Copies of this chain bind each other. A is one copy, B any other.
Amino acid sequence: MENQIIQTRLKSMREQMRLAGIDYYMVPTADFHNSEYVNAYFKVREYLCGFTGSNGTLVIEQDRAGLWTDGRYFIQAEKELQGTGVTLFRMLDEGVPTIEEYLERNMKEGEVLGFDGRVVDARRGIGLEKKLAGKKTVFSYGRDVADIVWEDRPPLPCGAIRVLPEKINGKNAGEKLQMVRSSMKERGTDAFFLSKLDDIMWLFNIRGCDVECNPVALSYAYITQTDATLFLQTEAVTPEAEQYLAQYGVAVKEYGKVMEFLQCVPEKTKILLELANCSYAIYKTLAERTELVDAPNPTEHLKAVKNEVELSYMREVYEKDSAAVCKFIYWLKKNIGQTEITEVSAAAYLDHLRSEIDGFLDLSFPTISGYAENAAMMHYEATEECHKVLEPKGMLLVDSGGQYLGGTTDVTRTIVLGEITDEMKRHFTAVASGMLQLSAAHFLYGCTGRNLDILARQPLWDLNIDYKCGTGHGVGYILNVHEGPQNIRWRFTDGMEEAVIEPGMDVTNEPGVYIEGSHGIRTENVMVAVNGEKNGDGQFMHFETLTFVPIDREAIDPACMSRENLERLNAYHRQVREKITPYLNEEEAAWLYEVTEPIG
């Protein structure tokens, strides 16, 4: 069956490409800032080919088109591309070329490669330049061809900008600008151009709502030793925001005028610019006339280290958020088998509990609620159309978090709904052991996540099981739930930064087991690194746990857990009981008392 809608759109695209003299047109899945979630305005790839997955790049030619996506989406993409005439390229499958290889293989000398340079990151663009250098390819990156074709395109998101209450920041925008300016000086640069939205929000103590679950506003910033210019959609700027920014000498300019501004930056200015977090269009504009210094944004590191004020708010927010998850588990255990609960309704109930917390702003990501074998799919999303009904057996994995005025949370628990197998218990116990071991890490300053990862992974590796992802990521403060540079992982691929864990950095701890077609288990707490004893051997450090939700003892096999880990589990449950009981009603408190009784 032909998909007329898509074929018509592709036809229009091809006409526009012919008019513009473009032979190949590439459409990635990204906004102007490489955000984790893309707003409807930026869903060009979906509009043009019908594929709705979160990762994919479309390449259109006159006589064919191809979509590249990863293993998570092969089945979905095959369905959605039916009748569109678009060929699916299964990324990382044997013999499947990357886009770069495909273009190198197929483009003829002197042909034109088109893309919207604002949605392709600089590193990728530079990579393409290198790959196609021998072909004399012409790069046409200055226009968004799809914009002409897409008539009913949604508008750019433009949510009102919120200024955070000064008392919850720990540092005001002036102090932060000062820190950034010292970093600029240290690196011998005159200016710093920043495209990364969460960094910009952090720096100016503002928040927006232009990206799903990420409280960020579309923006750019250009900072020198004397000036700071913040590009925002001016309709989004409240008088309050205007006043706050003016107080620290920040000039607000229209978001859409950033390119014009950059074209007028004094020649030969030495600009600090992180190529990994900036678009190809910006890079090309600046590279023409200024001297670029490619280095990590100083803001990323400064933002990652939470200050004492932030930490004190986070501790409180994490208790409240943990209490909501406790209430949810209690509700789930009480009602399972009594009333119909689905993956979707369970998530909705938890989301509802969160929304009632003081200072709740939003979820920090769409709640993942995966029952039985669905939990084995790491990025599973239950939908109204397609989800499982929970039964009083097996386990439900719920990974969720909230945005609050006082912190961003992220927590996963796998909850026993009834009978489970011995294998599931063994796996659950190993996951809990790994999580507890990493939580108990005592380490010297200088360690990175690479040094620590094995503490979480060892109990699983001992069973010849691995999880194919990192163990932990940084978490923003009223910001993106995934932030760097800190992380916990054992293997680094090109371009990944390996950051020393500094006191004040928070990080998730989330080992898991994913058995395709059977079950998925993940237990996730958020921890913050703190200093311990300092002596002649160095500065020792450890983690303070922020999350306080019981780990389901019904799935723990004490015979498979070491004495130390059992003691850690019992000590953790003592803390959960102490901290969370005050938030619960009598019935819930009685339940919590019971499920936090020591075992082993």
Check if A185 is an interface residue, CB within 8 A of chain B.
Answer: no
Chain copies in the assembled complex: 2
| Given known A-B contacts A444-B461, A461-B444, A466 and B538 have beta carbons under 8 A apart | yes
The stretch that binds B, out of A204-212, A364-372, A445-453, is: A445-453
Q: How far is the CB of A235 from the nearest CB of chain B, in Å? A: 49
Is A564 an interface residue when CB atoms closer than 8 A count as contact?
yes
Taking CB atoms and an 8 Å cut-off, the chain A residues in 455-511 that contact chain B are 455, 458, 461-462, 464-466, 468, 490-491
Please measure, in the bound complex, the distance between the C-alpha atom of A468 and the C-alpha atom of B454, giving whole angstroms.
Answer: 21
B465 close to A537 (CB less than 8 A): yes
Residue-wise, chain A 519-553 has the 8 Å CB interface mask toward B (1 for contact) of 00000000000001101011010000000000000
How far is B532's CA from A461's CA once the two chains are assembled, in angstroms?
Answer: 11
A562 at the interface (CB under 8 A from B): yes
Q: State A538–B464 Cα separation when bound (angstroms).
A: 9
Find out whether the CB atom of A451 lies under 8 angstroms from the CB atom of B532.
no
Tell me if A257 counts as interface (CB < 8 A to partner B).
no
Specify the chain B residue showing the minimal Cβ separation from A466: B537
- Bound form: Cα–Cα A441–B454 in Å: 10
Contact of A447 among B441, B455, B462, B490 (CB under 8 A): B490
Pick the contact of A464: B458, B462, B540 (CB < 8 A).
B540
Q: Assess whether A563 is interfacial by the CB under 8 Å rule.
A: yes
Q: Which residue of B lies closest to A468 (CB)?
A: B537
The CA of A538 and the CA of B441, in the complex, are separated in Å by 26
Cα separation A13 to B447 with both chains bound (whole Å) = 43
How many Å lie between the Cα of A466 and that of B447 in the bound state? 13
Within 8 Å of chain B (Cβ to Cβ): is A583? no
Q: What is the interface size of chain A, counting residues whose CB is below 8 A from a CB of the partner?
A: 30
Query: Which of chain B's residues have a CB closer than 8 A to the CB of A453?
Result: 451
Chain B residues with CB below 8 A from A447, complex form: 454, 490
Residue among A454, A468, A532, A564 with most chain B CB within 10 A? A454
- A516 (CB) vs chain B CBs: closest residue: B536
Tell whether, in the assembled complex, residue A532 and residue B464 are in contact, meaning their CB atoms are under 8 Å apart: yes
Tell me, in angstroms, the Cα distance from A64 to B446 when the chains sit together. 33
Candidates B451, B464, B533; contact of A454 at CB < 8 Å: B451
Task: Tell me the A533-589 residues at the B interface (CB within 8 Å).
Answer: 533, 535, 537-538, 540, 562-564
Query: B residues within 8 A CB of A593?
Result: none
Q: How far is the CA of A491 from the CA of B533 in the complex (A)?
A: 20
Asked if A139 is at the interface of the complex by the 8 Å CB criterion, the answer is no
B535–A446 CB distance below 8 A: no
User: In the bound complex, how far is the Cα of B466 from the Cα of A447, in angstroms?
Assistant: 13
Question: Complex formed: what's the CA distance from A466 to B534 in Å?
Answer: 11
Q: How far is the CA of A222 from the CA of B13 in the complex (A)?
A: 56
Contact A537 B464 (CB under 8 A): yes
A47: interface (CB < 8 Å): no
The CA-CA distance from A442 to B463 in the complex, in Å, is 9
Complex contact B491–A446 (CB within 8 A): yes
A461 CA to B440 CA in the complex, in Å?
11
Q: Mask for A30-59, Cβ within 8 A of B = 1, else 0?
A: 000000000000000000000000000000
Bound state CA distance, A443 and B457, in angstroms?
9
CB-based contact A461/B490 at 8 Å: no
Please report A residues at the B interface, Cβ cutoff 8 Å. 441-444, 446-447, 450-455, 458, 461-462, 464-466, 468, 490-491, 532-533, 535, 537-538, 540, 562-564
Show 17 residue pairs from A and B whose CB-CB distance is below 8 angstroms, ordered by the A residue.
A442-B458, A443-B461, A444-B490, A446-B491, A447-B454, A450-B450, A450-B451, A455-B458, A464-B532, A464-B535, A464-B537, A466-B537, A466-B538, A468-B537, A562-B562, A562-B563, A562-B564
Known interface pairs A443-B461, A451-B453, A562-B564; 12 further A-B residue pairs with C-beta atoms within 8 A, sorted by A's residue number: A441-B458, A443-B454, A444-B490, A447-B490, A450-B450, A451-B451, A451-B454, A464-B533, A464-B537, A464-B540, A465-B537, A563-B563
The 9 A-B pairs with the shortest beta carbon distances in the complex, nearest first, are A466-B537, A464-B533, A442-B461, A442-B462, A451-B490, A464-B540, A563-B563, A451-B454, A446-B491
